[in-house]
Chains A and B, each alone.
Chain A
Amino acid sequence: MSAAMPAPVQWDTAYNFAYLDEQTKRMIRRAILKAVAVPGYQVPFGGREMPLAYGWGTGGIQVTASVIGPDDTLKVIDQGADDTTNAVSIRRFFERVAGVATTEATEEADIIQTRHRIPEAELAEGQVLVYQVPQPEPLRRLEPREAETRKMHGYAEYGLMHVNLYEDIARYGHIATTYGYPVMVNGRYLMSPSPIPKFDNPKMRDMKALQLFGAGREKRIYAIPPYTSVKSLDFEDHPFTVQSWDDCCALCGATDSYLDEVILDDRGGKMFVCSDTHYCGQRRADGHVGPQGVPGVEEAR
């Protein structure tokens, strides 16, 4: 042992590294490899019961547990924020069972586990974005039966979804889906992007990072390898559009980020702030100030 050896990683040794046993990780990695090989296809896997409630990210943490190594740095966000309670809880879980370094900085993370958002900053090659997925089947609301939807994917029979979108246009004049907006991956599989706002859909296309999706309760894994075509469904005369706001972020002044509405009082007062807390903090550290921001005060958030 030379003195140059890094200190061994510390984790709760009552459990295997990253909680799951090695056979389970291997089974999940096989499912991930298949998912990467067939982009957008939902691979059934023997999802395990995790010490986290179903619906709270059990698929995401199984995927993260299977791909994480002792030298990796992990970032966990929920609704774009690092400090929401469930993100804190999942980050603490991996600190405890894997002893890995964690970060809030998007660019420093090797693995980013997310619920409902894609970070604003562009991801890089080598990074892995792990999505928590409540319902992997984009057709489920239109066809409740798994036996049927698997056939529809097999035959690439997606007319039902197009009709559904068309009905929106007939009723409202435009498509009325704001999150979980269905995408076509690699020109073959219809895929649910998980409940991210449609604002984030364009970021999935040709992303440099590997995108992995884990649905624990439904026991499905799917993936988008780097540089893969991802197209949000639309019509020639009704092209896909994303949300926009009249306001900018009240803290950092950003006009290009997804904004959350914050209620200030009970008389209709409100402001808009970036949903991506790291992006907002970074901008303020760089000197950007929004209409209600305080220059240079990082602690404001």
Chain B
Amino acid sequence: MYVAVKGGGKAILNSHELIAETRRGDPAVPELSTRQIANQLGLAVDRVMAEGSICDRDLAALAIKQAQGDLVEAIFLLRAYRTTLPRLAMSEPIDTARMLVRRRVSAAYKDIPGGQVLGPTYDYTHRLLDFALMAEEGAGAPVAPMGDAPLDEGMPHVADLLDYEGLIEPELADPEAPEPFDLTREPMSFPAGRDQRLQNLARGDEGYVLALAYSTQRGFGGNHPFAGEIRMGEVGVEIVPEELGFAIDIGDITVSECHMINQFEGSAEKAPQFTRGYGLSFGHNERKVMAMSMVDRALRAREFGEIARYPAQDEEFVLYHADNVEAAGFVSHLKLPHYVDFQGELNLLRQLRREHDERQLREAAE
């Protein structure tokens, strides 16, 4: 006798209990605190802040803990929280030339004003598992030595140095520009402006943006990039409260930025010139901003009259599929019941097979 599955409600509640138990793991092992995550899993926190579009280490750490370290799930948690927040003010544009630099490298020049600053990077570590970190008593509290002289307070952007010779397209603020597009308030529209594109890529899935950037290097694109400059450090954020009428500093945030310099062959009207791709992200997200700057440049194809031949140059393809909250949601929705549609397809398939058999029989008889 058939009894349909009832009690989905109870099953859902039970699954909540089970996930809580699973998340905690072995109770004999001390529980992880969000402070530990914010401090010791800093790069995971940075990624979640960047793609979750909210600059708050504590909330990102909480999301990572709640999601059991599933960063895409943590990003989703942060996004769902962020939509409930009121918008208090719009900041002034941050000035990354005034960044307090912790890391800054250029691959275009050997030496640059302000100097190359390696900072904290895994680049030159050998990727050998460090078993010392497994020790029960921990790795202690390593202290890095201080430099002899402080770094310059502000450092000019390397790409701007090329400006003096007109070798690179100038990038000047447009005082007439309308308020930037806001992807969190308006749906995407096409053709997309650069503001919409950069917002989308900044929130976009790191793996996806990375793969697209990689594709442009491997022959599915041809922009020959040079890492003009990658920098990471602290910048001040200012707002202009209406009642004051002048800017006040509301705090510092850590950002990563990449200027990618690309060739441009020039056209009948325009002399050959370097062109730019740009990437910016909350926190220390170097891989992301490099990839972002390459995809940004690839998507400027229309602007430069280049023929869009490759996936990374196709803005609807790139921008519509970059968001991992959207993508993960839609892929995972296949777990929802589809038996009504499936029934429709079953009926159709049976009918098509019956008709096929009848045709074969008829043809055999003839």
Contact = CB atoms under 8 A, between A and B. Distances in A.
B326 interface: yes
Interface stretch (A45-53, A120-128, A152-160): A45-53
A83 interface: yes
A212 to B, nearest CB: 17
B337 A195 contact: no
B348 A173 contact: no
B4 A275 contact: no
Contact of B343 (A45, A56, A197): A197
Contact of A261 (B1, B80, B343): B343
B345 A50 contact: no
B328 A176 contact: no
A213 B82 CA distance: 25
B9 interface: yes
A301 interface: yes
A83 B6 CA distance: 6
A263 B54 CA distance: 48
Interface residues of B, number: 51
A139 B2 CA distance: 40
Interface stretch (B26-34, B91-99, B180-188, B213-221): B180-188
A164 interface: no
B187 A47 contact: yes
Interface string B64-84: 000000000000100110111
Given A46-B186, A84-B337, A217-B326, A144 B12 contact: no
Interface in A47-74: 47-51, 53-56, 58
**Do most interface residues of chain A lie in helix, strand or loop, or is the interface mixed?**
loop
B346 A261 contact: yes
A48 B83 contact: yes
Given A56-B329, A85-B11, A173-B355, A258 B340 contact: yes
A217 B337 contact: no
A301 B82 contact: no
Interface string A160-179: 00000000000011001011
**Do most interface residues of chain B lie in helix, strand or loop, or is the interface mixed?**
helix
B333 interface: yes
Contacts of B336: 55-56, 78, 86, 115
Interface in B130-189: 184-189
A248 interface: no
Nearest to B11: A85
A88 B190 contact: no
A59 to B, nearest CB: 11
Interface string B43-59: 00000000000000000
Contacts of A54: 325-326, 328-330, 333
A39 interface: no
A260 B83 contact: no
Contacts of B190: 145-147
13 contacts: A53-B329, A83-B4, A83-B9, A88-B12, A172-B352, A176-B348, A178-B345, A196-B340, A197-B344, A219-B188, A250-B2, A258-B343, A294-B1
Interface of B: 1-9, 11-12, 76, 79-80, 82-84, 86, 184-191, 316-317, 320, 325-326, 328-333, 336-341, 343-348, 352, 355
